[in-house]
Amino acid sequence: MPELRSNFTPGTTPWAVRRAQWRALGIPDADMDKPKIAVVNTSSELSSCFSHLDELAAVVKEGVRAAGGLPFEIRTTAPSDFVTNAGRQARYLLATRDLLVNDIEVVVEGALLDGMVCLSSCDKTTPGHLMAAARLNVPTIVVTGGYQDHGIHRDEPVDIEDVFESVGAVSDGRLSVDELRRMCDVAVCGPGVCAGMGTANTMHVAAEALGMTLPGASLIPARGERVRSLAHAAGERIVGLVEEDLRPRDVMTEGAFANAVRTCLAVCGSVNALRHLQGVATEAENGVDVYALYEKWSRQIPLLTAVRPNGPIRVDELDRAGGTRAVMKGLERWQDPAARTVSGRTAGELLAETAVADPAVVGTVDEPHAPAPTLLLLYGSLAREGGIMKRGAAGGELRFRGPARVFDTQDGAMEAIRDRRIGSGDVVVLRGLGPQGGPGVASASWFVAAIHGAGLGEDIAVVTDGQLSGLNHGVVVGQVCPEAAVGGLIGLVEDGDEITIDTATATVDLLVPDAEVERRRAAWKPPEPTSERGWLAIYQRLVRPLSEGAVIVPRRPGDEPSARPVVPGGS
């Protein structure tokens, strides 16, 4: 075993004061020199996503003790996309991901602990844990909390996605509030994350494909013996990682990121995985350009499984078919077999013993569910540094052209839907919602869900510099960069301007003459920084663009922004 950084020299001040504290906790002498493991518990009573993590933390600690380590449970902030999205139009959500990273740094680095097991559940906790692992580079294992059970309403399955999209039907008068209330009362039947291929499950998939979970740890039920067994095994294995000195940056190499990108594409994962994986790579300081990886592989990777909202398959069916490893098996010819995992085995070794239990659920590259690209990076005058579109299992190319309807708030766009001031053929532009403009990336997802609930999902396009839910779908280009607040062309769009979205050319363009664009640009003034105090004000001043993962790592001399394609006439 390497020398443990947590073992201080006897007689020194750090040794003496910590020994006094820990003796008061009842820690015996025999445990003082053992590997000291942080059990990072993002538990909260605010959301069912986290309601089982206290139990899993206890199981992890049992595993740590069984392997000869000394566990310490630590608590962090715990953002829930369906609870803590209420304030400030969800501006806290992405900003809280980075607060979580710093939360972990303060405790783990402050105490000089030797390793950590991170209990991940809702959307922002898994990327936050991976980013913290990449930054601190202490031995780490991610334990995903699993997916929640869905309910039955009027003899049909109902889950949180159905609730999310039905709000639009209420606004449109096609569904009563009482009926929606009944759906809400049965949609979630236990702890865990949303059962569709939203951001949470996508990031669980990404964590396993990166090699940062034990094999088979993603896409499992939140309740039952499997999740408990994996939690105990993670507690045992983390002590081995400390002894072997296997660190996150040894695991999260360029090959591992390529494996994760290809796997996320094959399941048509959330658009949000792109910025989160770029955030992890930025924290790892490994030079990996996740956007370039997505751009390279998005035209080659077909859809191997169509989990809701991309198709009819439910996540429990994918679980029974073999889960993430089965999807990686379907991509085996393109996977990097040398990528290491926290299990101590390589991706190639794990895939050699993996089989797909149900080919009807998990296809192959030669026999996929759909040959079309599932997630596209679009560039153009409206997105010089890129925008993202999730296409799901739709076949064929798509070209949408229509007049812009511009809104600076999601509430304004929602009101326009209710008042029927947005109609078929319109391109809704939601702007000023990016990392700096928010501040904190504001949500556009409620509006996108509402237009689907109102039956307009295929008739209206949306272009936004804000964030989307992993459950959103339709003709939506999100996370447009540069954002409006820093002078992106999206901030210069006016009502009635023609906009085109073309998947064949992977472009999103504003059809306004260059001279008119320059006139508007000359008149544009950057918005004033927020005058409020608190976390969002700090975030606004430090955050990097979405194209760099929206991390809040301050720039250093010579640390230049990522190079992105420049489109003539762009911003």
pLDDT of residue 470: 64
Coarse DSSP helix, strand, coil percentages of the chain, rounded to the nearest 5 percent: 40, 15, 45
pLDDT digits (tens, 9 = 90+) for 415-430: 998 888 999 999 999 9
Residue 393 pLDDT class (50, 70, 90 cuts): low
Residue 142 pLDDT greater than 80, yes or no: yes
Spatial CB neighbours of 68, under 8 Å, sequence gap ≥ 6: 34, 35, 239
pLDDT of residue 561: 53
Helix axes 199-210, 125-136, angle to 10 degrees: 30
CA distance 89 to 434: 12
Residue 74 pLDDT greater than 80, yes or no: yes
Residue 365 pLDDT class (50, 70, 90 cuts): very high
Helix axes 125-136, 272-284, angle to 10 degrees: 20
Are 280 and 136 within 8 A, CB to CB?
A: no
Ramachandran region of residue 496, left (φ > 0), alpha (ψ -120 to 50) or beta? left
pLDDT of residue 569: 36
Spatial CB neighbours of 2, under 8 Å, sequence gap ≥ 6: 242, 243, 245
Active site residue 469: yes
Are 228 and 220 within 8 A, CB to CB?
A: no
Of 231 and 452, the structure prediction assigns the larger pLDDT to 231
CATH code 3.40.50.2300 for 31-149+192-291: yes
34-43, 83-92, 556-565: range with highest mean pLDDT = 34-43
Instruction: Dig out the tokens for 302 from the structure.
Output: 């077909």
Residue 68 pLDDT class (50, 70, 90 cuts): very high
Residue 496 pLDDT greater than 50, yes or no: yes
pLDDT digits (tens, 9 = 90+) for 211-266: 999 999 999 999 999 999 999 999 999 999 999 999 999 999 999 999 999 999 99
CA distance 233 to 245: 18
pLDDT of residue 571: 34
pLDDT of residue 510: 98
Average pLDDT, the chain: 91
pLDDT of residue 353: 96
CA distance 541 to 463: 25
Please give the backbone phi and psi of residue 444, each rounded to the nearest 5 degrees, phi first. Answer: -110, 5
Residue 567 pLDDT greater than 80, yes or no: no
Of 37 and 314, the structure prediction assigns the larger pLDDT to 37
CA distance 442 to 434: 6
Catalytic one among 469, 547, 562, 571? 469
Per-residue pLDDT, averaged over 96-108, amounts to 96
Are 214 and 251 within 8 A, CB to CB?
A: no
- The CATH class of 375-548 is alpha beta
Residue 12 pLDDT greater than 90, yes or no: yes
Residue 533 pLDDT greater than 90, yes or no: no
Report domain extents, the chain.
31-149+192-291, 155-189, 375-548
